[in-house]
Structure 1
Amino acid sequence: MDLNRDSSNEAISIMDTLSIKLNVDEKWIANLETEEGVLKMDSIISAFKSSNQTTYKTLGIKLSKQTSYIIKHCSMKGEPHDQLHVVLVPMLDEISILKEEEDEQKAKAALHNLEQLIDAYFKFFKID
């Protein structure tokens, strides 16, 4: 069984199930704190990967602090807010796996899925 292949298939299925849409061919406007939080998450993941760390639980805790920051400071309303949740809720699920999963392959898959979700955020959102 090729575990890398399975991880990739899981990510594809997660991305395929996102029902996010563009705002009439434009990106949705996110508030500054949301953008900062997602950028910080991306940078935490990059630092984690570049240092070849394998403590996924610690990574999950750091990322969880960023999602808490995003949630606490979110001032988005209406459709942009609803569309953010399409990406943010699965992010929270993947971060929970990182914090709780003992199986390294499952944690790696969660990290890969999270990276795909962060990419989706940047594809569909911008700050004004």
Structure 2
Amino acid sequence: MKKTILSFAMLAFILSSCNNKKEEAATEQTIQEPVEVVSHENHDTHHASSALNNDWMNEIQMDNGSQWEANIETTDGVNDMLKLISESKTETVEDYLGLANKLNERKNTLVKECTMTGPSHDNLHVFLHPLIEKIDVLLETKTTEEGATALKSIEDNLNAYTTYFK
């Protein structure tokens, strides 16, 4: 009986050792396999440039050839943002970031106060979505050149509002 128990114990020990060796071999094999490294160093630049284009103008529609009726809060919000831009000093990165924060706050208020519905609301989203992305890019500005590019795109976006909405 002692021999049987001892034999089972040794067999269990040997089998567990084999399993550990298999796991170690599998781990070593996994570690030794080549890993593909994908570079993302240009990801931010690509995102910023795609966010700053005005492709949204190809998507927005007119109201049977006329401007969409917008609520006063939306129009006031757009005008307030244009005023912020015209009155702001933009000489340093900090200036651009400060303006970005003010634009972001005003944009958030505009979105909260929106009461538009239907097709005019749907087209407002075509206008607003890229504006939001552009403000996000400005919030991440690291150089005055980036800030100037983002701000110009924001201003173009805001100035186009009156083409599509009244």
TM range (shorter): 0.7 to 0.9
Structure 2 residue 54 is the aligned partner of structure 1 residue 15: yes
Larger RCO of the pair (alpha carbons < 8 Å, separation 6+): 1
TM-score (norm 1): 0.81
Instruction: State which of 90, 113, 117 in structure 2 corresponds to 1:73.
Output: 113
SS of residue in 1 equivalent to 2:142? coil
* 2:73 and 2:113 in contact (8 A); partners too: yes
Give RMSD over aligned pairs: 1.8
Structure 2 residue 144 is the aligned partner of structure 1 residue 111: no
Instruction: State which of 42, 51, 66 in structure 2 corresponds to 1:26.
Output: 66
TM-score (norm 2): 0.64
Identity within the alignment, %: 33
CA shift, 1:106, in A, is: 1.4
Tell me the amino acid that sits aligned with residue 137 of structure 2.
I
Distance 1:68 1:84 in 2: 14
CA shift, 1:16, in A, is: 3.9
SS of residue in 1 equivalent to 2:151? helix
Partner of 1:37: 77
Structure with greater strand percent: 1
Unaligned runs of 5+ in 1: 1-9
SS of residue in 2 equivalent to 1:28? coil
Structure 2 residue 134 is the aligned partner of structure 1 residue 87: no
1:84-104 CA deviation, whole Å, 9 max, x = no partner?
111111111111111121122
* 2:56 and 2:127 in contact (8 A); partners too: no
Partner of 2:6: none
What number of residue pairs does the alignment pair up?
114
CA shift, 1:22, in A, is: 1.0
Tell me the amino acid that sits aligned with residue 121 of structure 2.
H
Give the direction of change, closer, same or farther, for the CA distance of 1:68–1:52 in structure 2 (3 Å limit): closer
The structure with the larger Rg is 2
Distance 1:40 1:17 in 2: 22
Distance 1:15 1:118 in 2: 11
